[in-house]
Amino acid sequence: MINISLCIEMIFSELPWDERIARVKELQAPAFEFWGWKNKDLQQTKALAEQHDLAVAAMVGGGAPLTDPQAKEQAVADILESIERAKALQVPTLIATSGPEQQDLERSVQQANIIAVLKQVAKPLEDAGITLVLEPLNTAVNHQGIYLASSYEGYEILRAVSSPRVKLLFDIYHQQITEGNIIANIREHVEWIGHFHIADVPGRHEPGTGELHYQNIFQAIAATDYAGYVGCEFRPRGSTEEAVREVLRLAANA
């Protein structure tokens, strides 16, 4: 079973916040997600989610770069504060990225700092029942200078942290650009994956506009024991309503 979440930072982005959430319900998606929480009215968001009987699947839960040892205390503090906000909003998943590559530091030092930050927040995450997902981003098209692009290095970091509440955000768009081999990667590493994002390549538009065969990908995910959300983080090239309905159809047929 594929549980769909709509990222309302990219889908319905032309609408006011309350109308975006209402549109999620109108199109019969079960959940929505968003990026940073500091510029959001979380009480309003929670009330709207309850009003429309929707789950809030995920939100961004970091701030300071995880790669910079001098920012380690701030990175930990940012995540701890986000855990408290997630508890209040009943959000099960927090999203974090590595931050930029520090040009004056060896990659091994930066990776060690990422691991140290995540180890420090692991117990609070476990106590709260919230999962933090570390997201690799592609550097070939969208995020030049980011430290973590490889899902395989992501798994290496997660093994070192060794917490059931620290996992990977597998963004199929980013990983297709970075390394390909999507279905085999998912099958082999699904135990480390805590959230998915989808968009087609090239262009980051809806499934069906590019080179990825999302029906096969959804079927591969559905054949595993993954029970989390698959977040739609794309910019619709055509009709937003048609794009969402097609994703929901693909999910229902997986």
Residues serving a catalytic function are 135, 233
Task: State the Cα–Cα distance between residues 212 and 206, nearest whole angstrom.
Answer: 10
Buried b / exposed e across 58-83, counting CB within 10 Å, b at 16+?
Answer: bbbbbbbbbbbbebbeebbebbeebb
Three-state secondary structure readout of 59-124: EECCCCCCCCHHHHHHHHHHHHHHHHHHHHHCCCEEEEECCECCCCCCHHHHHHHHHHHHHHHHHH
Q: What is the DSSP letter of 132?
A: E
Q: Which of 44, 80, 56 is nearest to 3 (CA)?
A: 56
Alpha carbon dihedral 57, 78, 107, 187, in 10-degree steps, equals -20
Left if phi > 0, otherwise alpha if psi is -120 to 50, otherwise beta: which for 204? left
The dihedral through the CA atoms of 29, 245, 16, 85 has a sign that is positive
Element (H, E) at 24: helix 17-26
Q: What is the DSSP letter of 147?
A: S
CA atoms within 13 A on the CB side of 5: 26
